[in-house]
């Protein structure tokens, strides 16, 4: 719907631009035409004026000079003038020279011949006069007749010249009339052009006004429709400028911030929606790159914990960035429940192997203890034998601790916490769990990277992902094999660095980073049929029998990798091999890498100390163990079996107590409640929290109250000694 509305706006804008373009072209053509017509008319008039003026001058000059020559000749012949005949001939010669200017209207030779005839007739008359002076004139009548004939010849020659000149005048007049007709036609065309242009402009602007009104109505309707759509979505849609001032504000944003759009526009968005403050530096990045920026299910803590997915997109029309914020808390909690469900599914698959190995560990411990008792009762065995047996018990207990911690890491619900981690360490951790729990017919191969493979990831969730994939591989090589076929195979986990090229990015649009770590989990199990490969990440899709799984494992794996800004791919040849590849962006450390911490040989030393320590634990064996260790280290110890007793003892002897060793879960009063009461008695008390829980949200919540340190059960003498020494140093001894 949104695209259709935008398309309608684009079409209307295009029609508007087309109409304006046509108008501009028409007006431009009309203007050019008017300019051309005016120029043609102007130059026609100028040229005609110049031409006709020159010709008129030439004809008048010829007329004047020939007439003057005729009169001057008559005067000379009559003896009334003393002028020389050369002046007459010069006038005729000048007329001949001017006759060339009339060549366009009368041939030059014709006019020159007429002028020559005019001159010739004068010469004949001149000769007659000269002859008459030299000879005796016998007949006066004959003389007059000849003179009359010469005069007529001269007059006729002059008339011929005049007629030719008149012909030129007539042609010039005819051409002038033609030029005027052309000029009149040009100005008629110009006037018509002006009328047409005026009519077109009137038509266009009338039509333009109607079209604009129509487009404005459509645009208003479109904006109203778009506003309705934007206000109907549940996502907060906020458009901001480069300074992060609000340009647009939809109903969802108004509902969240309880501020109407009219008041929100123009204000800084961080003052209206405070949780966006940490994301605003990315607004400038979007402005510069014009690329969309996404933040997937970010944990936001205000008055309560919420999860938001935030998308920032550049809006060219408004020259702003559209911030879309979706509250995905419900989806996140739902997905977390699904992840926990899938975790339990994996735990169920692993518990059999884990129980088997745990029984082996307990068997080693109980058997060695029995052997020690026998040796003590019968006073047999050397000190070396006793130490060897104690080493067996210690190593078995440490192995049991690791197995319990691994099981806790699977079952604990943790919020996603991204931090730079070495993927090699996670791979080793997961393979260790697999070694303790998988069928012994499965060969485990580690092909890890030779240096630190740093990525920004959540350790627990990524370990869960790898364990899910390894568990699927183990089943593909055992329970999923047809009956009667050999069980087992090879499971290989490898880590490599990869830089995608353009070809790879075309096939993998999610590959937007420059470099990735590729974690591959490969097995030689039954494989995946080609028609199923494309469905394996779909929710609730499974090839297992009913009751054997939820079909959420690979779905949650894929979802978790997406939350790490990564992606997955799978390759399989049924009956031969299956490879799952996880692509996670490489984490580039800023600045020089910190030096590796030096190995401190004194770490294994057991520091002693002094001072009175209050040990609070509801388990008698743990109280006894802690008391024994601390007294061996030189401390004095008083015991309390629950939180209420601990508070009473602390109230009486808080001035003497240097440190309280406080259990987390106890009857009557929990460790948290007891600490709060003791802190009211002595605000600066020193407390070391002890619990069988791993350092999860429950522990962190108590530590944030001000507790100084934490030790997880079971602990060794070395661990407890170092933690106590770290907190109280050398406290003065107190009497118990």
Q: What is the pLDDT of residues 280-333, one digit of tens each?
A: 778 878 878 778 878 776 666 555 667 778 888 888 777 788 888 877 777 767
Q: Which tokens belong to 193?
A: 């052009």
Q: What is the pLDDT of residues 592-651, one digit of tens each?
A: 444 333 333 333 456 778 899 999 998 887 888 888 888 878 899 999 999 999 999 999
Closest CA relative to residue 339, chosen from 580, 569, 561 = 561
**Rg value, the chain, Cα:** 57
Q: Are 717 and 606 in contact (CB under 8 A)?
A: yes
* More reliable by pLDDT, 683 or 233: 683
Q: For residue 246, give the 3-state DSSP assignment.
A: strand
* More reliable by pLDDT, 332 or 486: 486
The pLDDT of residue 205 is: 78
Q: What is the pTM of this model?
A: 0.40
Sorting pLDDT into bands at 50, 70 and 90, what band is 347?
low
**Euclidean distance between the first and the last CA atom of the chain, given in angstroms as a whole number:** 80
Query: Given the structure tokens 């096939």, which residue do they identify?
Result: 507
Q: Are 121 and 154 in contact (CB under 8 A)?
A: yes
- Cα(578)–Cα(527) distance, rounded to whole angstroms? 5
Give the ranges where 564-603 is alpha helix by DSSP (H): none
Whether residue 668 is predicted with pLDDT greater than 90 in this model: the reply is no
Helix, strand and coil in the chain, % to nearest 5:
60, 15, 25
- Cα(664)–Cα(658) distance, rounded to whole angstroms? 19
Closest CA relative to residue 455, chosen from 406, 497, 499, 510 = 497
| Percentage of the chain lying above the pLDDT 90 cut | 14
Q: Burial letters for 170-190: b for 16+ Cβ neighbours within 10 Å, e otherwise?
A: eebeebbeebeeebeebeeeb
Q: What is the mean pLDDT of the chain?
A: 77
* More reliable by pLDDT, 80 or 712: 712
Q: In the chain, how long is the greatest CA-to-CA distance? A: 205
The pLDDT of residue 39 is: 75
Whether residue 138 is predicted with pLDDT greater than 60 in this model: the reply is no
Summarize the confidence of residues 9-37 as an average pLDDT. Answer: 70
The pLDDT of residue 677 is: 93
H helix or E strand, kind and range, residue 294 = strand 293-301
Q: Is the dihedral of CA 223, 226, 227, 228 positive or negative?
A: positive
Q: Which tokens belong to 585?
A: 């962006």
Summarize the confidence of residues 500-527 as an average pLDDT. Answer: 90
The pLDDT of residue 653 is: 92
The pLDDT of residue 341 is: 66
The pLDDT of residue 95 is: 79
Q: Which tokens belong to 145?
A: 């007749």
Sorting pLDDT into bands at 50, 70 and 90, what band is 491?
very high
Those residues whose C-beta lies under 8 Å from the C-beta of residue 178, and which sit 6 or more positions away, are: none
Q: What is the pLDDT of residues 213-266, one digit of tens each?
A: 887 887 777 777 777 777 667 777 888 887 888 888 888 888 777 888 778 888
Sorting pLDDT into bands at 50, 70 and 90, what band is 6?
very low
In this structure, how many other beta carbons lie within 10 angstroms of the beta carbon of residue 324? Answer: 20
Summarize the confidence of residues 500-523 as an average pLDDT. Answer: 90
Least confident of 142-156, 372-386, 616-630: 372-386
Q: Are 469 and 553 in contact (CB under 8 A)?
A: no
Q: Is the dihedral of CA 398, 399, 402, 404 positive or negative?
A: negative
Q: What is the pLDDT of residues 398-445, one digit of tens each?
A: 667 656 665 665 555 555 678 899 999 889 888 887 887 788 899 999
Those residues whose C-beta lies under 8 Å from the C-beta of residue 211, and which sit 6 or more positions away, are: 15, 16, 19
Least confident of 80-94, 329-343, 686-700: 329-343
Q: Are 301 and 417 in contact (CB under 8 A)?
A: no
Summarize the confidence of residues 656-661 as an average pLDDT. Answer: 93
The pLDDT of residue 4 is: 46
Nearest 5°: phi and psi at 322?
Answer: -90, 120
Whether residue 278 is predicted with pLDDT greater than 90 in this model: the reply is no
Least confident of 211-215, 374-378, 495-499, 510-514: 374-378
The pLDDT of residue 597 is: 37
The pLDDT of residue 5 is: 45
Sorting pLDDT into bands at 50, 70 and 90, what band is 676?
very high
Q: Are 686 and 659 in contact (CB under 8 A)?
A: yes
Q: What is the pLDDT of residues 529-568, one digit of tens each?
A: 888 877 777 654 555 554 444 334 677 788 888 888 999 9
The pLDDT of residue 593 is: 45
In this structure, how many other beta carbons lie within 10 angstroms of the beta carbon of residue 64? Answer: 12
Show the 3-state SS of 201-239. Answer: HHHHHHHHHHHHHHHHHHHHHHHHHHHHHHHHCCCEEEE
Whether residue 352 is predicted with pLDDT greater than 90 in this model: the reply is no
CA angle 35, 40, 46 (to 5 degrees): 125
């Amino acid at each position: 719907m949104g695209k259709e509305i935008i398309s309608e706006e684009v079409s209307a804008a295009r029609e508007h631009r087309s109409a304006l373009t046509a108008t501009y072209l028409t007006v431009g053509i009309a203007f050019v035409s008017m300019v051309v017509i005016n120029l043609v008319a102007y130059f026609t008039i100028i040229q005609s004026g110049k031409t006709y003026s020159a010709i008129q001058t030439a004809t008048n000059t010829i007329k004047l000079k020939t007439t003057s020559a005729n009169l001057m000749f008559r005067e000379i012949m009559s003896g009334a003038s003393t002028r020389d005949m050369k002046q007459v001939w010069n006038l005729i010669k000048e007329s001949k020279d001017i006759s060339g200017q009339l060549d366009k209207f009368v041939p030059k030779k014709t006019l020159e011949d007429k002028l020559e005839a005019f001159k010739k007739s004068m010469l004949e008359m001149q000769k007659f006069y000269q002859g008459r002076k030299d000879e005796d004139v016998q007949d006066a009548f004959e003389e007059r007749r000849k003179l009359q004939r010469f005069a007529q010849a001269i007059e006729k020659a002059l008339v011929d010249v005049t007629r030719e000149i008149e012909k030129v005048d007539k042609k010039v007049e005819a051409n002038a009339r033609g030029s005027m007709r052309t000029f009149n036609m040009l100005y008629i065309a110009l006037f018509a052009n002006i009328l047409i242009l005026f009519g077109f402009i009137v038509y266009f602007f009338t039509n333009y006004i109607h079209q604009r009104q129509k487009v404005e109505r459509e645009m208003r309707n479109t904006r109203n429709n778009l506003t309705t759509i934007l206000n109907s979505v549940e996502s907060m849609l906020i458009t901001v400028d480069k300074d992060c001032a609000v340009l647009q504000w939809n109903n969802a944003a108004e509902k969240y911030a309880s501020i109407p759009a009219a008041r929100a526009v123009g204000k800084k968005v961080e003052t209206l929606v405070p949780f966006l403050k940490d994301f605003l530096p990315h607004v400038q990045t979007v402005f510069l790159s014009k690329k969309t920026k996404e933040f997937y299910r970010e944990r936001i803590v205000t008055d309560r914990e919420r999860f938001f997915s935030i998308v920032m997109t550049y809006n060219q029309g408004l020259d702003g960035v559209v911030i879309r914020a979706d509250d995905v808390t419900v989806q996140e909690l739902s997905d977390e429940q699904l992840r926990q469900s899938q975790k339990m599914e994996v735990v169920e698959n692993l518990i059999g192997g884990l129980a088997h190995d745990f029984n082996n560990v307990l068997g080693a411990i109980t058997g060695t203890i029995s052997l020690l008792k026998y040796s003590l009762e019968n006073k047999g065995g050397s000190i070396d034998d006793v130490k060897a047996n104690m080493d067996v018990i210690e190593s078995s207990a440490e192995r049991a601790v690791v197995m319990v911690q691994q099981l806790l890491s699977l079952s604990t619900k943790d919020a996603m916490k991204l931090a730079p981690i070495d993927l090699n360490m996670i791979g080793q951790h997961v393979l260790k769990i697999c070694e303790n729990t998988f069928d012994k017919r499965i060969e485990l191969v580690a092909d890890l990277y030779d240096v630190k493979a740093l990525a920004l990831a959540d350790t627990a969730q990524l370990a869960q992902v790898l364990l899910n994939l390894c568990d699927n591989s183990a089943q593909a090589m055992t329970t999923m094999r047809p009956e009667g076929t050999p069980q087992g195979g090879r499971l290989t986990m490898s880590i490599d660095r990869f830089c995608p090229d353009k070809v790879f990015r075309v096939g993998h649009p999610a590959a937007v980073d420059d470099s990735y770590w590729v974690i591959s989990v490969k097995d030689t199990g039954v494989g995946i049929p080609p028609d199923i490969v494309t469905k394996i990440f779909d929710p609730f899709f499974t090839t297992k029998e009913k009751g054997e799984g939820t079909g959420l494992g690979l779905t949650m794996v894929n979802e978790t990798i997406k939350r790490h800004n990564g992606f997955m791919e799978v390759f399989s040849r049924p009956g031969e091999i299956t490879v799952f590849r996880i692509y996670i962006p490489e984490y580039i450390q800023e600045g020089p890498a910190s030096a590796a911490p030096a190995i401190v040989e004194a770490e294994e030393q057991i520091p002693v100390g002094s001072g009175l320590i209050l040990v609070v634990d509801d388990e008698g064996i743990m109280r006894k163990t802690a008391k024994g260790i601390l007294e061996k280290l030189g401390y004095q110890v008083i015991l309390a079996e629950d939180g209420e007793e601990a508070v009473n003892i602390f109230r009486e002897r808080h001035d003497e107590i240097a440190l309280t060793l406080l259990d987390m879960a106890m009857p009557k009063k929990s460790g948290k409640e007891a600490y709060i009461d003791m802190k009211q008695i002595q605000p600066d008390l020193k407390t070391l929290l002890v619990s069988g829980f791993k350092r999860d949200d429950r522990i962190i919540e108590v530590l944030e109250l001000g507790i100084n340190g934490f030790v997880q059960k079971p602990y060794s003498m070395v661990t407890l000694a170092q933690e106590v020494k770290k907190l109280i140093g050398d406290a003065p001894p107190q009497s118990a």
